Amino acid sequence: MISPFLFLAVGVAMAAVYRAPAGLAPPGAAPTLALVALGLAAGAALARLIAASASRRLGREPALREGAVRAYRRGRVVYGLAALAAYGALVHGAHWTLFVDRGLGLLDLAPLNRPVHLAPLLALAVAAWCIFHRIEAAWTPSGEGLGRHLGRQLRAALIPLVPFLAFQALGDLPGTLPALDRLLRAAPLLEPLAVAAFLVLVFTLAPVLVRHLWPGGPLPAGPLRTRLEAAAERAGVRLRDIHLWDTGGSGLTNACVAGLFPGLRRVFLTDALVRGLAPEEVEAVFAHELGHAVHRHFLTYLLLALGFLSAMDWLEGLLPADASDAMVAGASVLVALAFLALFGALSRRLEQQADLYALRFLGTAAPLAGALRRLTAGGTDGPRRWAWRHPSVPRRLAFLGLAEREPAAAERLERQVRACVVAVGLLVGLGVAGLPARHRTTPAASQGVVPSGGASVGSD
């Protein structure tokens, strides 16, 4: 499917911007649950159709495996978009969240109602994981059973889902704690400051969350660990640990770094990556992750997230006081889509900057280029023409070759990244500068009435 982060982010946003029309009674249980069942059945049928089509194509043209993989991957994207469209229709057309909150009486249990809001979307995801696992297991035998596959996918989904749900729980607090609600009305600036502090906390604790959701442990002592630790020391990057991610025989090859601060920062390497690459190639991938740390990309993502919240705050102040719920929802979705596009464009450039760091660190592009070719040589995650957060492998290889031959190409990328980071910083600065004007205490607020232009964490 599409990126799990993007899939869940859009789904959470769809549920978050829903506002029930005034006076609308919750829909009945029988028709609502029937619609959910129909949607799940249709989703399963579409997933089976995509898997069967890919299997037939590969069976007819086994020599054209890459084309079959690309067609299958396009089918997964279609499924993801169809699942989001179906969920959006269920929430905004069939009033699913109203049914959960009022029909099932879960509103008083907030924030426990939030996961139930997302249940149909998660069920569509689980159906796809089950059906697509069959074809992927046939194409790239790994020994990973369906149970372990589902567990791995669910743990991966929890990485973005836990912060999303925690953020919504923060918004529910004023509705359940009257004293906090009165405090926020009397001191409106506390609300955006609390949201920003929560976001910093999420980014700070991200490596702890990832470590607990990705099974495994420290990379065992030996020549490889010694080599990687020496590389981190040469780069001047302090790490809490190098984590070997046990993928349960899935064959997943991946690596990442997480952590704002050295005391919590970890580099994560999958067991399949360590097994499948030569030591110098593992070091090249590790150097790429060190590049993210050296250039403080995690901090850049934090600033971008703060910029998104600033833009949403500005939007609330710009909309007229009598704006309809449809207008608010539509404007919010447009701003969110714009920032997702910006996030993807920025992320692709930061990935290339990390590639460039690995090239400079090692003095040659050969180990990283070899690792990229190996990691995408087979399976359903082969070379991509385009990806949301990463450039395609052919494009990364072409850039590495160009940067090695022409230093001017590397400098152009560095200038682009600097311009992007400055733009993100200016966006955050404008948001911070406008906070006092947008969150003034008014007489209405002191009397317990939220000003028409003010934000309310507890609004529903």
74-83, 281-290, 440-449: which range is least confident on average?
440-449
Confidence band for 370, pLDDT divided at 50, 70 and 90: very high
- Calculate the average pLDDT of the chain: 84
Q: What is the dihedral of CA 432, 435, 436, 437, to 10 degrees?
A: 120
390-424 confidence digits (pLDDT tens): 888 889 999 999 999 999 999 999 999 999 889 88
pLDDT average, residue stretch 222-232: 97
Cβ(179)–Cβ(187) below 8 Å: no
Q: What is the largest CA-CA distance in the chain?
A: 74
Query: How far does CA 365 lie from the centroid of its chain?
Result: 29
pLDDT above 60 for 443 = no
SS3 (DSSP) at 390: coil
Predicted pLDDT of residue 187: 83
CA atoms within 13 A on the CB side of 142: 24
CA dist., res. 101 & res. 109, Å (int): 9
Predicted pLDDT of residue 183: 86
pLDDT average, residue stretch 123-127: 94
Q: What percent of the chain has pLDDT over 90?
A: 43
Confidence band for 444, pLDDT divided at 50, 70 and 90: very low
Q: How many residues does the chain have?
A: 460
CA dist., res. 435 & res. 189, Å (int): 7
Predicted pLDDT of residue 297: 95
What DSSP line would sit under 152-204, residue for residue?
HHHHHHHHHHHHHHHHHHHHHHHHH-HHHHHHHHH-TTHHHHHHHHHHHHHHH
Predicted pLDDT of residue 347: 93
165-224 confidence digits (pLDDT tens): 888 888 778 877 888 888 888 887 888 888 889 889 999 999 998 998 888 899 999 999
Q: What is the dihedral of CA 274, 279, 280, 283, to 10 degrees?
A: 50
pLDDT above 60 for 385 = no
Instruction: Say if residue 90 is exposed, middle or buried (CB neighbours under 10 Å; 0-12, 13-18, 19+).
Output: buried
Predicted pLDDT of residue 447: 41
Most confident by average pLDDT, 189-198, 347-356, 386-395, 450-459? 347-356
pLDDT above 90 for 428 = no
Query: Which H or E run includes 47?
Result: helix 29-60
CA dist., res. 282 & res. 276, Å (int): 9
Predicted pLDDT of residue 440: 66
pLDDT above 60 for 362 = yes
Cβ(243)–Cβ(258) below 8 Å: no
Predicted pLDDT of residue 329: 72
39-50 confidence digits (pLDDT tens): 999 999 999 999
Cβ(393)–Cβ(376) below 8 Å: yes
Cβ(199)–Cβ(255) below 8 Å: no
CA dist., res. 379 & res. 146, Å (int): 17
Ramachandran angles phi, psi of 306, nearest 5°: -65, -35
Predicted pLDDT of residue 460: 34
Confidence band for 68, pLDDT divided at 50, 70 and 90: confident
333 vs 303: which has the higher pLDDT: 303
CA dist., res. 173 & res. 345, Å (int): 34
CA dist., res. 15 & res. 118, Å (int): 8
69-115 confidence digits (pLDDT tens): 778 888 999 999 999 999 999 998 899 999 999 999 888 787 788 89
Confidence band for 325, pLDDT divided at 50, 70 and 90: low
pLDDT above 60 for 318 = yes
pLDDT above 60 for 448 = no
pLDDT above 90 for 367 = yes
β-partners of residue 216 are: 245
Helix axes 393-405, 407-433, angle to 10 degrees: 120
Confidence band for 2, pLDDT divided at 50, 70 and 90: low
Residue type, 248: G
pLDDT average, residue stretch 248-267: 87
Predicted pLDDT of residue 454: 34
